[in-house]
Amino acid sequence: MLIAQITDLHMRSPGDKAYGVIDPAAFLDQAVRTLNALAPRPDCALITGDLADLGRPEQYAALRQALQALEIPYFLLPGNHDDREELRAAFPDHGYLQGTGAFVQYAVDCYPLRMLALDTVVPGKSHGELCRERLQWLDDRLAEQPGRPTLVLMHHPPFQTGIEHMDDIGLLEGARELEAIVSRYPNVERVLCGHLHRTIFQRFGGTIASTCPGTAHQLALELGPRPALRYIMEPPGYQLHWWSDGRLVTHHAVIGDYPGPYPFE
């Protein structure tokens, strides 16, 4: 099984630039072309939050339009820039988003790897939280199939990254409790996250928690105290998670046109 992860699309209407610089719609088109060109083709794509930059209906409409070109099934989860109800309204045919109550949490059971999506959103805030109700849902789902290889998906990573301004708006509640749950289930292959616009890993609860680069802008790799959080137009990227022989291998890959590949001659 092959899974493509993209994240932090921060979609806006075509031509509507963020900060006068970033054109998320153009970047998303490029990401879609990249995923469509992959061989072998991924079984599905996971899109781990910050789907629309300002959570507006027209941005979700543009997102839906752009994702119509994606030739593989995809699963959405919300980030701090998203609005749950606008997201649900724009994707009425995505049944897993609907009727899940206050939170957009769901299980995907139709692939060799099971996927459990958690909702870390606190409406109107940049930071994330996992309250008791959301954590209990995860614990209950994991208890259903304790022997089955499983991915946990969430927007805010459950660890400190050293990029202090992002840690200030990280998962401020529930990370330790999440780790206690995950540590009871060695079948959790990964905790896959977004939010950081970079690739970062940490050992977490006996598994690996990671973040994925954004499809548009990245966050500058500036550790420690800094006057401000800054973005940088490094190459956008994605991750390919390859499940083979009972092991999950993760490739970090960049999006864009580069010279090559060339044979070693």
Site residues (vs Fe ion, CB under 5 A): 8, 50, 79-80, 195
User: Residue 125 or 148: which CB sits closer to Fe ion?
Assistant: 125
Query: What are the percentages of helix, strand and coil residues in the chain, rounded to 5?
Result: 25, 30, 50
User: Residue 79 or 158: which CB sits closer to Fe ion?
Assistant: 79
Kindly state the smallest distance separating residue 197's Cβ from Fe ion, in Å: 6
Structure tokens at 20: 């006068």
Kindly state the smallest distance separating residue 35's Cβ from Fe ion, in Å: 19
Are 3 and 243 in contact by the 8 Å Cβ rule? The answer is yes
CA dist 30 and 14 (Å) reads 13
Kindly state the smallest distance separating residue 186's Cβ from Fe ion, in Å: 29
User: Residue 141 or 195: which CB sits closer to Fe ion?
Assistant: 195
User: Residue 114 or 195: which CB sits closer to Fe ion?
Assistant: 195
Nearest Cα neighbor of 100 from 118, 86, 83 is 118
- Measured from the Cβ of residue 180, the count of other Cβ atoms closer than 10 Å reads 12
Kindly state the smallest distance separating residue 82's Cβ from Fe ion, in Å: 9
Cα 70–Cα 72–Cα 78 angle in degrees, nearest 5: 75
Nearest Cα neighbor of 181 from 130, 136, 119 is 136
User: Residue 52 or 181: which CB sits closer to Fe ion?
Assistant: 52
Kindly state the smallest distance separating residue 220's Cβ from Fe ion, in Å: 14
